[in-house]
Amino acid sequence: MKPETLTTQERIQYELRELYLACGYRPYKVGKFEDYDLYMRNKKFLASEQVLTFSDTNGKLKALKPDVTLSIIKNVKDDGRVQKLCYTETVYRVPRNAYGFREIMQTGLECIGRVDDYAAGEVLMLAARSLQKISERYVLDVSDVGVLSGVLAEEPIGDADCARLLSLVGEKNQHGLTAACAEMGVSQRTTQRLLDLVCACGPLGETLSRVESLDLPQTSREALAGLGRMRDQLAAYGIGNVNLDFSVVNDMDYYNGLVFRGFVEGIPSGILAGGRYDNLLARMGKHGEAIGFAVYLDQLERYMEAKPAYETEALVLYDAATDPLDIVRVTESLRARGISFRVQREEEPCPNCREVVRLAKEANT
Amino acid sequence: MKRMINIALPKGRLGEKAYSLIARAGYACPELLEENRKLTFENEQAGVRYFWVKPSDVAIYVERGAADIGIAGKDILLEYAPDVYELLDLSIGKCRMCVAGAQDFSDSHTGILRVATKFPAIARRHYAAQSREIDVIRLNGSIELAPILGLSDVIVDIVETGKTLAENGLCVHEEIVSISARLIANKAHYQFKGAEIEALRQKLEEAARA
């Protein structure tokens, strides 16, 4: 197959699959439908809470799956063994601030069972290389939710207030953070720590050194040490373009530890998202640890899609008097030369093409 | 090569105020204030390209990446909750999002409260936090008319001085949140133009403080 016959989306999908398989991730297929109940219980994990539902023949409420991770966790064996899985699936959901459901092609991987430093680093490396397959101009933002949760744990504030502060960190909203901390009676020290973390954003190595010199609680320091090990492993892989950015905040009910988000220049929103989700695993009654990410292939639809110079290379025109066997002879000769062609009657509008082969009788006379 | 920053400005008074602040911060583009039919304005030397858009559309332009940054009222950000960075409070265009109604109105909590507003999400969130059931009446303008004609019990709207309310026999019953203009940025574009955007943010902060 000529490479240009693939769309960018298809090419990237193929290359990512190749990348994951080469690192020992096993392809995993989940069904298109899932019991609605699964999403009911884990609504906050979903990117959008709206789920496309229908009644099965036995009256059971089913859903067109809005997410792949939940289905994988539900189905994987809980036998303590490490399972490295990759997938390409279609999900159905309402994108943020959009109207109506959309069919979204998503590819990704999950490492479930035991996630040690090596496994986490491998997943980060694959996330970075996935972005690199799309463009050299990429950025992978990484953070560890343990750094922020360590800071917040020192304050006697409830879950709702914690979520509000995290959302402000996610917006890099320093003025909002200062005001909210004052309103909640959060100490000056914690407020300053949060502001320092919001401002700390840049290349992983140097930013991490800067953050390590800040006054932070022990639990945050442990999380920073984990990020340090990731920095070393990524350096050993020769991976660049990784930034430390504490504004990557995922829901702490599901995520713990490492979280990350990937961007490619020219695509106006994040194209990759992932993290460590031991908490989700525990909520679903499974043991062990898990980490994974998804690449949103739908974002590639308008990316780098260079318009071909010609709709077809050769245009073969004929009329009512043309012998069909003459057309076959011409097209077979074009095919043998590897030239793409379109055959049509002369009176039809002509598409953009490189050469025209006229078999119309009038043209021959 | 210097990367151009695309800036969406809200048409109208707020946008003009915001522009004069940005101009003071060193990103002027005098052409912007001239009477003409141009849609985009550029100052290549300063590395900025401006365009005027409807105030409620600024967040959409930024969230979808047509603009790298923009100036939007906090009311718009609270209503549409775009997935953007909110980098700075410009402390201009200050006003309050309030619940207002007739001077003698008091919520008896006996039935569903009828709320007329241009900001249904803000109204819903405010009353949901109080577990108060409401009937949102979405209007596009002249919100003050709704309680006068009995269309609604109260309104949720922006109050600047309270003069329009007072002239129509209405008053503020509750303040929901303070509003002012904010500098917002597209999350993806920030990754690649972060240095330029941060430089602008810092200069803008200094200009806003001066």
Q: Sorting pLDDT into bands at 50, 70 and 90, what band is A361?
A: low
Residue B86 has its nearest CB partner, among A173, A243, A263, at A173
Q: Encode pLDDT of A191-233 as tens digits.
A: 999 999 999 999 999 999 999 999 999 999 999 999 999 999 9
The answer to whether residue B11 scores a pLDDT higher than 80 is yes
What is the pTM assigned to this prediction?
0.88
Q: State pLDDT tens for residues A269-303.
A: 999 999 999 988 888 888 899 999 999 998 888 77
Which residue bears the tokens 């001085």? B161
In chain A, DSSP assigns E strands to 26-27, 33-35, 52-55, 61-64, 83-93, 102-113, 138-144, 201-203, 242-245, 258-264, 272-276, 289-296, 312-318, 341-345, 353-358
Q: Cα torsion for A308, A314, A315, A316, to the nearest 10°?
A: -160
Give the pLDDT band (50/70/90) at residue A4: low
Q: How far is B77 from chain A (nearest CA, A)?
A: 11
Tell me the residue length of chain A: 365
For A64, phi then psi, to 5°, come to -80, 125
> Given CA atoms A181, A184, A188, A189 in this order, what sign does their dihedral have?
negative
Q: What is the ipTM of this complex?
A: 0.89
Residue of A nearest to B194 (CA): A202
Over range A7-32, report the average pLDDT.
93
| Placement of tokens 């050469």 in the chain | A355
- Tell which A residues from 184 to 223 touch B, by Cβ distance under 8 Å: 201
Interface membership of A267 toward B (CB under 8 Å)? yes
In angstroms, the CA B64 to CA B23 distance is 25
Structural domains in chain A?
A: 312-364 (3.40.50.12590)
Give the confidence band of A350 by pLDDT, cuts at 50, 70, 90.
confident
Identify the pLDDT of residue B183. 97
Residue A305 pLDDT more than 70? no
Whether B87 and B197 have beta carbons less than 8 Å apart is answered as yes
Query: Per residue in B87-138, pLDDT tens?
Result: 999 999 999 999 999 999 988 888 899 999 999 999 999 999 999 999 999 9
Helices (H) and strands (E) counted in chain A, each on its own, are: 13, 15
Q: What is the rounded average pLDDT of the residues A99-110?
A: 91
**Residue range A51-63, pLDDT digits in tens:** 889 999 999 999 9
The yes-or-no verdict on residue A80 having pLDDT over 50 is: yes
What residues of chain A lie within 8 A of the CB of B83, using their CB?
A: 96-97, 269
Which residues does chain B have within 8 Å of residue A264's beta carbon, measured at their own beta carbons? 188
pLDDT at position A1 over 50: no
Among A111, A91, A86, A114, which residue's Cα sits nearest to residue A101? Answer: A91
